[in-house]
Amino acid sequence: MVSPGASLSPAAAAHLADTAWRARVDEVRAVAAGELVELARSGAEGRVNRPLLAAMARHGLLDALFPGAAAGQPSGQVAATELCCLREGLASVSTEAETALALQGLGGYPILQGGSTALVQAWIPAIARGDAVAAFALSEPGAGSDAAELALRAEPFGEGWRLYGEKLWISNAPEADVYSIFARTTPGGGARGVTAFALPAERPGCTGEPLELLAPHAIGRLLLDGAEVGPGDVLGEVDRGFGVAMATLDLFRPSVGAFAVGMARAALDAAVSFTQERRAFGGSLSDLEAVAHALADMATELEAARLLVRAAATAYDAGVTRHAVTRASAMAKVFATEAAQRIIDGALQLHGARGLVRGHLLEHLYREVRATRIYEGASEVQRTIIARGLLR
C-alpha cells in the first residue's frame, strides 16, 4: 500500500488510471444493459429514437456528457477520458445508445463552446434532458474530408443572413430540433470564411430527407432555401466557424476509437463464448490452435486500441499541445477503427453462417463498424496527419 503523500511511480499511476477507466466503463455497461437495450431494440433502424434519449437522460448519461446541464446549470465540457468511457461502455452493450449519446454531443458542443449565454440556456439543458435532438451539420456533397471547401452560402439579409445550399451525411437529419450548421460568409475565404450558426429546425426554408446506409444510423440530407439566422445565432465569431467545428472534433475524435473498442469487445466476448460452447472435431472449437490463436490476436489488438485511445484522451485532458493531441487522436482513431473492423470480421468468421443472419450481433456489428473508418476523418486522412507530424 502506498503511504499518504507518497508519489506513485509512472507504472503504478498508469495502472491506477487503467483500473479507474475499466471500472467506469463497466459502470456504464451496467446502466445500459437493461432498459436502454430494450428501448434500442424497439426503435426503428435509421431513425432518431426519442424514448431512448429520454431514458439515457433519466439514467444520468446525458448529464455526464453535459455536466450540470440537465438541471439548467451547464458547468463546462465533459473530460475526454469520461467521454471515451461513456462511448466504450455503451458500445459494448448497445451501439444504438452509444450513437444517440455521441450525436447529442456532436450537435450540442458547438453551441456549448461557442454560443452566447442565452443560446446555451435555450438549447443545452433541453439537449441534456433528451427533450431536444441536436445535429452537427458540416459535410456537404462536395466537402467532406476537406471541410474548408464548404459551399453552403450565408447571404447577408438585414442584420443577419439567409442560408442557401445543401448539407449531406448529417446525423440525426432531418429529425433534429437544432443544427450546429457551418456556412460560408466570405466567398473565397477558405477555412477563414466560414461561420457557425445554431439553426432551429423549425425555421422556414430548412427541410430535408432521410438516407439509408449500410449501418443502422439516423442520417440524412438538409436543404436550405433561405432559412434565416441572425447575430444571436452565431457560434463563436463571424468567419471563424471552422475553429468552432475543430474544437468539437478535437474533443470527440479520440472517442470514435472508444466506440470502436466497445464494439470490438462485444465481438470478442461473443467469439470466446461461442467457440468454448461449440463442439467440433471431438472437443470445443476453442481447443483448435488456429481458433485459439485467432482469439489471442483479437485480444491483443483490442488492448492496444484501448491503450491508444486512453493515451489520446489523457493527453487532451492534460492540456498538452494541440499538435500532440491531434497526432495522438489520429493514431487512436485509425488504429482502433481498423482493428475493430478486423476483430469483428474475425469473430464473424468463427461463428460461421450463423453470424451472417440478419439480427445476429455479429451481423449488426459488421454493418455498424464500417462507417467508423470514414466519418470524422477517414483512415487515410488520419494517416496523413500522422505522417505530416513525422516529416515536419
Contact 176, 144 (CB under 8 A): no
SS3 content of the chain, % helix, strand, coil (to 5): 60, 15, 25
Q: What is the DSSP letter of 173?
A: T
User: What is the torsional sign of CA 7, 308, 323, 105?
Assistant: negative
Question: Coil, strand, or helix at residue 336?
Answer: helix
Alpha-carbon span 85 to 258, nearest angstrom: 7
The Cβ of residue 9 has, within 10 Å, a number of other Cβ atoms equal to 10
Distance from chain centroid for Cα 116? 25
Alpha-carbon span 74 to 126, nearest angstrom: 11
Q: What is the bridge-based pairing of β-strands 279-280 and 206-210? A: unpaired
Alpha-carbon span 272 to 285, nearest angstrom: 10
Q: Which of 38, 277, 376, 380 is catalytic?
A: 376
Q: Please indicate whether residue 376 is annotated as part of the active site.
A: yes
Contact 100, 50 (CB under 8 A): no
Beta strands in the chain (DSSP E): 134-137, 153-157, 160-171, 178-184, 194-200, 206-210, 219-229, 234-235, 279-280, 283-284
Report how far apart, in Å, the C-alpha atoms of 207 and of each of 162, 173, 201, 377 are. 14, 9, 8, 26
Report how far apart, in Å, the C-alpha atoms of 280 and of each of 49, 258, 275, 288, 354 are. 41, 34, 9, 9, 15
The β-bridge partners of 219 are 171
Question: Coil, strand, or helix at residue 280?
Answer: strand
Task: Catalogue the active-site residues.
Answer: 376
